[in-house]
Amino acid sequence: MVMQAKTTNHTGAQSNPMARWRHKRSNCFACPHRAAEWCALGDNLSDLNEAKTSNTYQPNQAIFYQGNPCMGLYCVEEGTVALRKCDAQGNEVIVRLVHSGEVLGARTFFTDGEYSASAVALTPARVCFIDKTTSKRMLQDNQDVSFAFLRNISSALHQAEEDKLHFATLSVRARLAHLLMKLKDRYGHMDESYALHIDLPLSRQDMASMIATRPETLSRTIRALEKDGVVEFHKRSVKVPDLDCLMDELEQAA
């Protein structure tokens, strides 16, 4: 069954007895990952800084739940958040990852409906919340902010279309390579031998859901890639000895 909606408290954050509200306010002016949409506020950034509240989450803590009404906008200051969607049979998939400097809940905010997915912290995360009334006022008063949100929503929809095309046309092997290439930009680093190491924020089950395959199929695909020397998986990390070999997986599938 679909995850039941949780109640919301006066701050706009979904009720969660494990959440730890911080008394010290974060500063929008000093935020290294301020969402691009809010940068258009210019001198009015102080209004946002005063209106927002901040919350820290541990892995697997929910920020909001599928089926809850939208209470405002969320900005990920630090960490990675997964949008998890659950169907009527209780099957759960990750539909998108949201990273530092990105906004949560914008599409639902503009449609004034209910969240179509739950937002759950994958890593320790700090998330700022701007209530609906304040968000609407800022959007109405600043056309540049509204256009910034429109551009990013359009970009997200375009990426969703591209992902759907990949699922329909690429093999599981190529889909996994594509996912690893996306993760390397935020979670990868090169060692002294120029091998790529990626600290995975996802479990293998989550990785399988993100590339629309079954966990056992993913396991077979990983073993095949390891046999060919393309990757080496070690629990929640992966080593890519030669990045060109991983890129070849995508070029061969094109």
Instruction: Say yes or no to pLDDT of 41 above 60.
Output: yes
Instruction: Give phi and psi for 15, each to the nearest 5.
Output: -55, 130
Tokens of 37: 């949409």
Give residue-wise pLDDT tens across range 23-36. 445 777 667 666 66
Q: Which of 56-65, 147-156, 180-189 has the lowest mean pLDDT?
A: 147-156
Categorise residue 208: left if φ over 0, alpha if ψ from -120 to 50, beta otherwise.
Answer: alpha
Q: Which of 95-99, 105-109, 143-147, 201-205 has the lowest mean pLDDT?
A: 143-147
Average pLDDT of the chain to the nearest whole number: 83
Instruction: Say yes or no to pLDDT of 170 above 50.
Output: yes
On whether the CB atoms of residues 179 and 216 are closer than 8 A, the answer is no
Question: Does 47 reside within a domain?
Answer: yes
Tokens of 94: 């990750």
Same domain, 103 and 74: yes
CATH number at residue 223: 1.10.10.10
State the chain's maximal CA–CA distance in angstroms: 58
Question: Does 14 reside within a domain?
Answer: no
Instruction: Say yes or no to pLDDT of 6 above 70.
Output: no
Please identify, among 138, 166, 194, the residue that sits at the C-terminal boundary of a domain.
Answer: 166
Same domain, 78 and 181: no
Instruction: Say yes or no to pLDDT of 159 above 80.
Output: no
The model's confidence at residue 127, banded by pLDDT at 50, 70 and 90, is very high
Give SS3 for 199. strand
Please identify, among 166, 184, 200, the residue that sits at the C-terminal boundary of a domain.
Answer: 166
Question: Does 52 reside within a domain?
Answer: yes
Look up the domain containing 178 and give its range.
171-253
Same domain, 81 and 149: yes
Please identify, among 166, 199, 227, the residue that sits at the C-terminal boundary of a domain.
Answer: 166
Instruction: Give phi and psi for 194, each to the nearest 5.
Output: 65, 25
Q: How many CB atoms lie within 10 A of CB 140?
A: 10
The model's confidence at residue 232, banded by pLDDT at 50, 70 and 90, is very high
Q: Count of domains in the chain?
A: 2
CATH number at residue 25: 2.60.120.10
